[in-house]
Amino acid sequence: MKTPIPRYHSPLGRLLPNTTDLEAIKQNGWRDQHILVVSENDERLDFVEREIVRRIGKRLYGSVPRSESHE
């Protein structure tokens, strides 16, 4: 005889937001820990700023393989 498995819904699930505000996380990371998270394709940056981000990323982490490039 199969008995249904009771589902237990944790009350903690109601305390967590359903969506994550990534911009707020990035902003807090910068303000609290001086960690900058930015895409080289961020439209808020001008050409020179995007190029600086790309060069820093390449120097620190190496070239992006062609299959992962977002160009």
49 or 3: whose pLDDT is higher? 49
pLDDT value for 7: 75
| pLDDT at site 44 | 96
pLDDT in tens, 10-44: 666 666 666 789 999 999 999 999 999 999 999 99
How far is CA 60 from each of CA 7, 41, 48, 64, rounded to the nearest angstrom? 47, 18, 18, 11
The helix/strand/coil state of 6 is: coil
Question: Token match 């600086």: residue?
Answer: 52
Calculate mean pLDDT across residues 35-55: 95
